[in-house]
Amino acid sequence: MKSAITFYDRIPERWLNVEPLHAMQLLHELEKPTVVKYSSPNPKEGARWMVTLQHANESSGLYAFVDVWKKLMQSERSLDYDLYFVIANGYGAMAREDYPIFGRRFSPDQIDWNRCWTKPEEVGRGDMPARQREQVEELTSLILETNPEYMIDIHNTTGKNKPLAFVQERYAQGVLVHNLVNHIIYSGVLPGSLLDRFSDVCETVTLECGKTGTFEALYACQEMLRTFINFKTGNEKEKKESPLCYQELGRMVIKENVDFSFYNPNKENREFTEKERGRGTFLVRSDIENFNQTHVHDFGSLGVYEGEEFPLRFLEHGVDKSDEYFQIHGREIKIAKPTYGLLFTTNVHNIRVTELGYLMERV
């Protein structure tokens, strides 16, 4: 039977000639989900897994993998555990006629990779393409066979964020995650996510390195990978000072029938054009990404609106709680609760197909 994934039991030698910033040269070899093993000569601990490119527009992990491969081989580093690298969706990262390289979260003939991971008692998504289902099942079997101890899932954001981690609450005080980031978010259940699927199997952390395509995010990712590889199991002395911890509350979406645009809040008394007023346009602050990991009291309003129908919804575990979370003062839309921003973006495509951002509270 032909495998649905590609597996290498060592880092391919030809890949070591590729420099980290040329990592996209490897995409034609990564059309199937690809696993690369860096073997320990004498494993004393459970396996560690690093996953990247579940979202094909979030590229920092791939660049950082190329850097790590070169350094591991050049130093002939010996580890006490088997280390696995997964490049999940090189296929989706490749350029198409209607979008560039690293241009889409997933390709038109896929569903979101981070909604594909089904627990044994769950029914998988009915809209998952058969090929993608085979790939997820084969990857899942391989991961479980290795008896993993730790897993990190590497992502980027489309907006400016400080590096952060999503974990289930049981792992929030773990030494590993405290060494990886300074901002930790207790994640709610996200069916189909890698975090949800494997947190019952091993300590699993979803990492957001920063804005995709930026050097800042790449540097943050490289540091996270170094920390993960060097981490010593059970060494409480390695635990850094307590990071800031938050509970995710829900997500903010712009209603489908509402147009939106951006305005500079530093230009006072921004007036709506006749066209914007006629279409009921919601004007979002152009600096909305500065709300991320910032208290609403320090940030202020979200934007301005003069339409008849309120333009936003706030969904808390799928339940509309807009009346509890929003206030309108004149034409300014404000958040009513003492919360912090999370994953806010000015990326128009992401806003329209997913959300404007999330809210969270300190714990």
- DSSP state letters, 133-158: HHHHHHHHHHHHHT-EEEEEEEEEES
Residue 248 binned pLDDT confidence (cut-offs 50, 70, 90): very high
Question: Using an 8 Å Cβ cutoff, are 207 and 180 in contact?
Answer: yes
Reply yes or no on whether the pLDDT at 57 is more than 70. yes
Check residue 307 and give its pLDDT.
87
Q: What residue spans define the domains of the chain?
A: 6-242, 249-362
Secondary structure of residue 250 in the 3-state scheme: strand
Comparing C-alpha atoms, which of 181, 240, 242 is closest to residue 210?
A: 181
Rounded mean pLDDT of the chain? 93
pLDDT at 91 over 60: yes
Q: What is the pLDDT of residues 145-164, one digit of tens each?
A: 999 999 999 999 999 999 99
Q: Averaged over 295-323, what is the pLDDT? A: 94
Residue 123 has pLDDT above 90, yes or no: no
Helices (H), the chain: 60-75, 90-93, 130-145, 175-180, 194-198, 215-230, 274-279, 296-299, 322-325, 348-353
pLDDT in tens, 170-226: 998 889 999 999 999 998 788 899 999 999 999 999 999 999 999 999 999 999 999
CATH superfamily of 6-242: Zn peptidases (3.40.630.10)
pTM confidence score: 0.92
**Under 8 Å CB-to-CB from 201, ≥6 apart: which residues?**
143, 144, 148, 151
Please give the average per-residue pLDDT across 61-83, as a whole number: 97
Q: Which of 212, 206, 209, 163 is nearest to 188 (CA)?
A: 206
Whole-number Å distance between alpha carbons of 190 and 327: 28
- CA-CA distance, 82 to 37, in Å (whole number)? 7
Residue type, 174: G
pLDDT above 80: residue 85: yes
pLDDT category of residue 266 using cuts at 50, 70 and 90: confident
What pLDDT is stored for residue 274 in this prediction?
Answer: 81
* Range from 7-16, 52-61, 251-260, 262-271 carrying the lowest mean pLDDT: 262-271
Among residues 162, 164, 184, 163, the alpha carbon closest in space to that of 173 is found at 184
Torsion on CA atoms 265, 266, 269, 275, rounded to nearest 10: -50
State yes or no: pLDDT of 1 exceeds 60: no
Least confident of 39-43, 49-53, 97-101, 297-301: 97-101
